[in-house]
Amino acid sequence: MRKLTLEDLLSIEDYSHQRKSFRKIAMEHKNDRRLQIGPNLMMHFEDFTLMRYQILELTRAEKITSKDDLLEELLAYNPLIPDGKNLKVTLMLEFPDEYERRIKLSKLLDIENKISIQLENMDPVFPICNEDLERSTEDKTSAVHFMRFEFTDEMINAAKEGAKWTVKCSHKCYEHEVSPLPENIRSSLTSDFS
């Protein structure tokens, strides 16, 4: 999957005129790239389309126009685009009540490392997490984690041939799985392996 360049961005004026259609496309696309695991864990599988939308929204909201600032945004967001052999995920732990959130996050230490993706009967793939900076402390995990799942050629071929996907959280305080992956999500994620 290719990375974003300055040519993929629009001026604030041009984007403002096209924003409604961009938003519609992004929201529909996002529906095929969001996976709820249990009641409180959401995985957002990032890609070119979603990162482009994110940057366009950001540049519009913050009125970013200088080439240097735009390049800085590309540097920040391009690492979230898969490269053909991996999936990039923003994991969110969602507890609307602040008191409950504080308690739950203290019990879910290391949850980001307990998420796996398995294709058919192959070995599960565990993520490389938070490569930019540590997001948890000794007392609690963060509500947001960034993850990269790396796949072998054999796994990628199996995915392209229609293998069943299982996504699982095996944390002792949060054991949930989705199996098989809904077809719309499986198909969208498989397209990342190009």
What is the rounded CA–CA span in Å between residue 74 and residue 59?
A: 11
Residue 1, pLDDT > 80, answer no
Q: Report the mean per-residue pLDDT for the chain.
A: 95
CB-CB contact of 128 with 115 (8 Å) = no
What is the rounded CA–CA span in Å between residue 108 and residue 121?
A: 28
Angle between helices 153-160 and 183-190 (to 10 degrees): 130
Give residue 97's pLDDT: 94
pTM comes to 0.93
Q: Per-residue pLDDT averaged across 24-45, rounded?
A: 97
pLDDT digits (tens, 9 = 90+) for 47-99: 999 999 999 999 999 999 999 999 999 999 999 999 999 999 999 999 999 99
pLDDT digits (tens, 9 = 90+) for 123-166: 999 999 987 767 778 889 999 999 999 999 999 999 999 999 99
CA distances from 35 to 30, 48, 109, 182 (A): 10, 18, 21, 9
**Domain limits, the chain:** 6-190
Radius of gyration of the CA atoms of the chain, in A? 18
Residue 193, pLDDT > 80, answer yes
User: Per-residue confidence at 41, pLDDT binned at 50, 70, 90?
Assistant: very high
Say whether 171 sits in a helix, a strand or coil: strand
